[in-house]
Amino acid sequence: MSTPNENQPQNGQNGTSNHTQHSAADGTGTAVTGTGSSQDPRTAEGENARTLTTRQGHPLTNNQNLRTLGNRGPALLEQYAFLEKISHFDRERVPERVVHARGAGAHGVFEAYGKVGDQPIEKYTRAKLFNTAGKQTPVFVRFSTVGHGGHSPETLRDPRGFAVKFYTEDGNWDLVGNNLKVFFIRDAMKFPDLIHSQKPDPVTNRQSGERIFDFICNTPEAMHMVAFLFSPWGIPANYRQMQGSGVNTYKWVNQDGDAVLVKYHWEPLQGIKNLTAQEAEAIQAKNFNHATQDLFDNIKAGNFPEWELRVQIMSDDEHPELDFDPLDDTKIWPEDQFPHLPVGKMTLNRNPENYFAEVEQSAFGTGVLVDGLDFSDDKMLQGRTFSYSDTQRYRVGTNYLQLPINAPKKHVATNQRDGQMAYHVDSAPGQNNHINYEPSSLNGLKEAPRTAPEHMPAYSGRVVRQTLDRQNNFKQAGERYRLHEDWERDDLINNMVGALADADRKVSDKMVELCTNCDPDWGKRLAEGLAAARGGQQHEGGNQYNEGQQREASQQAEEVGHEAKPY
DSSP string, 465-518: ----S----SHHHHHHHHHS-HHHHHHHHHHHHHHHTTS-HHHHHHHHHHHHHH
* pLDDT given for residue 489 in this prediction: 97
* pLDDT given for residue 555 in this prediction: 82
Q: What are phi and psi of 260, to 5 degrees?
A: -130, 155
Measured CA to CA, the distance from residue 319 to residue 316 in angstroms comes to 8
Residue 483: other Cβ atoms inside 10 A:
11
Indicate the pLDDT class of residue 3, thresholds 50, 70 and 90. very low
* pLDDT given for residue 28 in this prediction: 36
Which residue among 11, 172, 178, 254 is the active-site one?
178
Computed over its alpha carbons, how large is the radius of gyration of the chain?
Answer: 25
* pLDDT given for residue 540 in this prediction: 64
3-state secondary structure of 346: strand
Which CATH class for the 103-228+236-402 domain?
Answer: mainly beta
Mean pLDDT (the chain) is 88
Which contacts qualify for 509-514: CB closer than 8 Å, 24 or more apart? 510/217, 510/218, 511/213, 511/216, 511/217, 514/216, 514/217, 514/220, 514/223, 514/474
Tell me, rounded to whole angstroms, the distance of Cα 356 from its chain centroid.
Answer: 19
Measured CA to CA, the distance from residue 266 to residue 306 in angstroms comes to 9
Q: Is the pLDDT of residue 27 over 70?
A: no
Angle at 178 between CA 174 and CA 180, to 5 degrees: 145
Total residues belonging to the chain: 567
Q: Where are the domains of the chain?
A: 103-228+236-402, 474-548
3-state secondary structure of 462: coil
**pTM, whole model, 2 decimals?**
0.85
Measured CA to CA, the distance from residue 149 to residue 98 in angstroms comes to 8
Catalytic annotation present for 100: yes
Residue 349 amino acid letter: N
Residue 188: other Cβ atoms inside 10 A:
18
Indicate the pLDDT class of residue 524, thresholds 50, 70 and 90. very high
User: Which of 242-256, 324-338, 379-393 is least confident?
Assistant: 379-393
3-state secondary structure of 359: helix
Question: C-alpha dihedral over 455, 460, 461, 462, to 10 degrees?
Answer: 80
Q: Is the pLDDT of residue 36 over 80?
A: no
* pLDDT given for residue 541 in this prediction: 62
> Could you tell me which of 223, 199, 220 has the C-alpha nearest to residue 211?
199
Which residue among 19, 100, 224, 424 is the active-site one?
100
Catalytic annotation present for 178: yes
Q: Is 388 annotated as a binding residue?
A: yes
User: Which of 259-273, 296-310, 408-422 is least confident?
Assistant: 408-422
7, 109 Cβ separation under 8 angstroms: no
